[in-house]
Amino acid sequence: MGRTVDYYFAPQSPWAYLGHQRLAEIAHRAGAAVRVMPIDLGGKVFPISGGLPLGQRAPQRQAYRLVELQRFSEHLGAPLNLKPKYFPVGGDDAARLIIAADIAQGAQAAMAVAGAVLSACWAQERNIADEKVLAQLLVEQGLPAGLLEQSHSQAAQERYEAYTQQAIDAGVFGAPSYVIDGEIFWGQDRLDFVERALAR
């Protein structure tokens, strides 16, 4: 039986954007399943884990973040706007849409929506907090427009809250985090270790 990666991320995270496609490819090669688990990072996880929203971090940390984003963007050949037009941006609506896709059509659809949302924010200068943009992303992925309505359901909200609590219980404090058999790998720069863990 294949392994499972619990994929905790925020839909507006540039680091999740940089790692998303690589995670999909690593899991595919390993025959592993990915549980797509968007979480409320800024609202629920940071306050209990010592994390700070970007604007509250020390200037040195903010400056170095931009250096690292540029480095990884170039290294991975992944286009990225260092200061997107629509950022900071709320991720709750996008998170619930990813969850609705998962509930209705499974993890592959959820991964597709998550990838589209991340790219929209970081490579395409689109507002992922705008329902019209989310509707367009569904069309572009060939997914039913009705998923937008389903994203407003109590089931989607409850699962969002449950994923966030599961992340907290697992010791997650940043995004993206990949958890395999209880072991946390924080950050897209740990994907080499994720690949090794799946090969064990």
Residue 190, burial from CB neighbour count under 10 angstroms (0-12, 13-18, 19+): middle
Return the pLDDT at 2.
76
Give Cβ neighbours of residue 181 (< 8 Å, ≥ 6 apart).
3, 197
Cross-strand bridge partners of residue 8: 37, 177
Return the pLDDT at 65.
97
Return the pLDDT at 1.
52
Q: How far apart are CA 124 and CA 74, in angstroms?
A: 17
Closest CA to 101 of 133, 163, 148, 166: 148
Strands, sheet with 183-186, edge to edge from the N-terminal-most edge strand: 33-38, 4-9, 177-180, 183-186
**What residues of the chain score a pLDDT lower than 70?**
1
Contact 176, 8 (CB under 8 A): yes
The overall average pLDDT reported for the chain is: 97
User: pTM for this one?
Assistant: 0.96
Return the pLDDT at 161.
98
Return the pLDDT at 197.
97
